[in-house]
Amino acid sequence: MGDAILNSIVSEYLFTEFRNKDEGFYSKTRSNIVGRKNLNRIGKEILPTNKIQHKLRQLSDNIFGNILESIIGAVYLDLGYNKSKEFVMKYVIEKTNTKSMDQNYKSKILEWSQTKKKEIKFINSTQKGPDHKKEYLIELFIDGSKISESWGNTIKSAEQKSAEIAIKIVS
């Protein structure tokens, strides 16, 4: 239940705060705010580990996000929508940098390349590490010339980092 309440509150917040954005922005930004990675980070930050009763050897990061969602659901059931909205605003939205979420550098460099009639290529040149902890080196080429490169834990994150560097170079 907490995840549904969280989605509702975040959707309302985005619509009122970012009135002139398109549906894609709302969807992507909401997904980033309510996504497991963000909720796990916030949960780890605000939940005292010594108060979590468990029989596990070690708490996974997902536990923190799950507990945070459960708390949101409990606040809703006990105190209603407005109090759960206050909780989400204070502990989720204020702890999430929504301004930086609109930065899709890969889209920006691709738009730039179309405007300037330049050919962009992302090449996965190197991979290292075990399967469960692989890293990727992505090189970005414009018209055949290497402009930037970056490592990431996923191909997508490495492409974003490499595109961010390239945007700064060509702008």
Active site residues: 3, 69
Per DSSP, the residues of 6-50 read HHHHHHHHHHHH-TT--HHHHHHHHHHHHSHHHHHHHHHHHS-GG
Q: What are phi and psi of 103, to 5 degrees?
A: -95, 90
SS3 call for 97: coil
For residue 158 the two structure tokens come to: 């490495």
The answer to whether 8 and 84 are in contact (CB under 8 A) is no
The answer to whether 153 and 171 are in contact (CB under 8 A) is no
The answer to whether 158 and 150 are in contact (CB under 8 A) is yes
Distance, in Å, from the CA atom of 28 to the CA atom of 104, rounded to the nearest integer, reads 10
Distance, in Å, from the CA atom of 152 to the CA atom of 166, rounded to the nearest integer, reads 16
